């Protein structure tokens, strides 16, 4: 058996698979987010441990024999979170999460240093780890002086599981401290934030072993000795391993809290000017690009809260027949935006509202706005030299047929839906645990799932979507600087 642990923003998922990669069982532990001020987003690292314990206790309760047979564990996690540890390996403060934008001034200052884009291949986004530590240096200097290690969220779980300070390439690439092309920490970039390599964990590839499960935890869950813990991956790279998007040209679109257009690459192809994320993949000698929008299903959930309806009620009200965009446009920038604007202070907008703008019209505008934001990402990836012929859809938003039709038509690409099954980040993490424990061929293990259905672009509406996209593109420069 092999275990995948995915530390998300809202919970920890534990997934058991067998040697044939059949899913045996899964369990979750819930998490909450603390938002003390606008733009802040924090979690206590001990909450991650408690949620992981809850998930594994659930597996042990119902599937003790399967859990006892685990030979390898893979880790996946929310990226960019700053977990600052003191000399005793205890957190000095709550972890500052990926969607926290308080450090936008520090990010701008670091990004103005040309070495960051040159070495990392990325803009220094406010959500990245380095500006968060710069914010600590500027606002919590006494705590900053006590920092001995900086870990990413899943790597704090690894410390608890194995006792080792270790990370892997895909997650480390989102810190703004990694030399992404050469897959190593950069002394130059660390020094720019008052840190050194000794503050960083050791690095392995996602398919390599990072340690073994501590004996007391193995005994607690009834596991044997020498359970291998793989390097694992950041959540998007782990999802790519689960979806089989590991070879050049393979791509997926993720409709979760945030939205991601992910493309695997065999070469390092940075495009920081387009606010494209260019990161190491979880597999050796491979990279990936991502266009990232901060509010995908979050936008629909926000509208659901405002209207007093559920998200599924709103999308269900539209039916499945795709309509031409109406007069209402929506910018899904509820928490700022990454690709292509790198703007932490911009906020969402409805435009073109009239007396006739009813609830379905607003729902359509929200779905279209997210689809057009993903088209922005596609164009930024193409500018970097990545050309896609199709994408696979994953995430909670992919349950809406209407939304998938809007995305396919906005992108001009077929959108594949995988066969029934769990192919997300936890599954990808379990695959990495299998590879590390057994020395298996990564490409053979990380095969794509069968395609259950394909949503084709609707050519009859492409012109209307192009016109609506042009209106969408004109809105951002019109409102920039007014927030």
Q: What is the pLDDT of residues 118-147, one digit of tens each?
A: 999 999 988 899 999 999 999 999 999 999
Quote the pLDDT of residue 354. 96
Cα angle value 315/469/460 (rounded, 5°):
70
Rounded Cα distance between 213 and 211, Å, is 7
Q: Which two tokens stand for residue 283?
A: 């597999």
Cα angle value 470/474/476 (rounded, 5°):
130
Quote the pLDDT of residue 483. 65
Quote the pLDDT of residue 16. 98
Q: Quick check: 421 pLDDT over 80?
A: no
User: How far, in whole angstroms, is CA 461 from its chain's centroid?
Assistant: 31
Instruction: List CB contacts of 266: < 8 A, sequence separation 6 or more.
Output: 247, 248, 285, 286, 287
Quote the pLDDT of residue 300. 97
Rounded to the nearest integer, the mean pLDDT of the chain is 95
pLDDT band at 251 (very low <50, low <70, confident <90, very high): very high
Task: Indicate if 111 belongs to the active site.
Answer: no
pLDDT band at 343 (very low <50, low <70, confident <90, very high): confident
Q: Quick check: 345 pLDDT over 90?
A: no
Quote the pLDDT of residue 148. 98
Q: Quick check: 419 pLDDT over 90?
A: no
pLDDT > 70: percent of the chain:
100
Rounded Cα distance between 476 and 178, Å, is 31
pLDDT band at 54 (very low <50, low <70, confident <90, very high): very high
Residue 367, H or E segment = helix 359-383
Closest CA to 272 of 290, 284, 255: 290
Quote the pLDDT of residue 18. 97
- Structural contact between residues 417 and 451, judged by C-beta atoms closer than 8 angstroms: yes
Long-range (24+ apart) CB contacts under 8 A made by 384-387 are: 384/269, 384/270, 384/271, 384/274, 384/276, 384/278, 384/289, 385/269, 385/271, 386/249, 386/263, 386/265, 386/269, 386/289, 387/249
Quote the pLDDT of residue 459. 96
CA dihedral sign of residues 339, 343, 346, 352: negative
The pTM score is 0.87
Would strands 149-151 and 83-85 be described as parallel, antiparallel, or unpaired? antiparallel
Quote the pLDDT of residue 99. 86
Q: Which of 187-201, 208-222, 240-254 has the lowest mean pLDDT?
A: 240-254
Quote the pLDDT of residue 257. 85
Rounded Cα distance between 403 and 406, Å, is 5
Local structure of residue 193 (DSSP, 8 states): T
Would strands 233-234 and 72-77 be described as parallel, antiparallel, or unpaired? parallel
Closest CA to 35 of 53, 9, 12: 9
Q: Quick check: 79 pLDDT over 90?
A: yes
Instruction: List CB contacts of 160: < 8 A, sequence separation 6 or more.
Output: 49, 52
Q: What is the dihedral of CA 108, 110, 113, 119, to 10 degrees?
A: -120
Distances, alpha carbon 330 to alpha carbons 176, 296, 471, in Å: 31, 12, 10
Rounded Cα distance between 467 and 471, Å, is 7
pLDDT > 90: percent of the chain:
90
Quote the pLDDT of residue 395. 84
Mean pLDDT calculated for residue range 107-121: 97
Of 111, 155, 235, 376, the catalytic one is 235
């Amino acid at each position: 058996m092999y275990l995948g642990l995915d530390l998300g923003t809202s919970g920890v998922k534990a997934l058991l698979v067998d040697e044939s990669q059949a899913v045996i069982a899964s369990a979750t532990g819930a998490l909450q987010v603390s938002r003390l001020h606008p733009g802040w987003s924090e979690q206590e690292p001990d909450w991650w441990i408690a949620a992981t314990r809850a998930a594994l206790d659930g597996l042990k309760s119902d599937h003790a024999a399967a859990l006892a047979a685990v030979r390898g564990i893979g880790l996946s996690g929310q990226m960019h979170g700053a977990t600052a540890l003191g000399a005793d390996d205890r957190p000095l403060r709550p972890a500052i999460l990926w969607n926290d934008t308080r450090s936008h001034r520090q990010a701008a200052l670091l990004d103005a240093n040309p070495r960051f884009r040159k070495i990392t291949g990325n803009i220094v986004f406010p959500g990245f780890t380095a500006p968060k530590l710069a914010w600590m240096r500027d606002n919590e200097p006494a705590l900053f002086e006590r920092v001995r290690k900086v870990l990413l969220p899943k790597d704090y779980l690894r410390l608890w599981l194995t006792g080792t300070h270790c990370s892997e390439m895909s997650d480390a690439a989102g810190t703004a401290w990694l030399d992404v092309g050469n897959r190593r920490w950069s002394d130059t970039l660390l020094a720019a934030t008052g840190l050194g390599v000794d503050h960083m964990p050791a690095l392995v590839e996602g398919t390599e072993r990072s340690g073994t499960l501590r004996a007391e935890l193995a005994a607690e869950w009834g596991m044997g000795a020498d359970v291998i813990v793989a390097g694992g991956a950041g959540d998007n790279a782990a999802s790519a391993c689960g979806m089989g998007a590991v070879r050049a040209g393979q791509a997926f679109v993720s409709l979760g809290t945030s939205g991601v257009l992910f493309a695997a690459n065999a070469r390092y192809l940075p495009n920081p000017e387009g606010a494209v994320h260019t990161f190491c993949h979880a597999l050796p000698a491979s990279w990936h690009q991502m266009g990232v929008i901060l509010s995908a299903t979050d936008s629909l959930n926000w509208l659901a809260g405002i209207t007093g309806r559920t998200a599924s009620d709103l999308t269900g009200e539209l039916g499945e027949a795709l309509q031409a965009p109406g007069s209402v446009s929506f910018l899904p920038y509820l928490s700022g935006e990454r690709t292509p604007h790198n703007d932490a202070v911009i906020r969402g907008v409805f435009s073109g509202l009239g007396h006739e703008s009813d609830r379905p019209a607003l729902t359509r505008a929200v779905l279209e706005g997210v689809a057009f934001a993903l088209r922005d990402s596609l164009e930024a990836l193409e500018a970097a030299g990545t050309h896609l012929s199709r994408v696979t859809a994953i995430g909670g938003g992919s349950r809406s047929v209407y939304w998938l039709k809007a995305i396919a038509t906005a992108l001009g690409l077929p959108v594949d839906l995988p066969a029934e099954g769990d192919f997300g980040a936890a599954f990808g993490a379990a695959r990495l645990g299998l590879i590390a424990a057994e020395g298996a061929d990564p490409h053979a293990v990380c095969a794509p799932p069968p395609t259950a259905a394909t949503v084709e672009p609707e050519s009859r509406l492409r012109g209307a979507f192009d016109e609506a996209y042009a209106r969408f593109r004109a809105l951002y420069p019109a409102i920039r600087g007014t927030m």
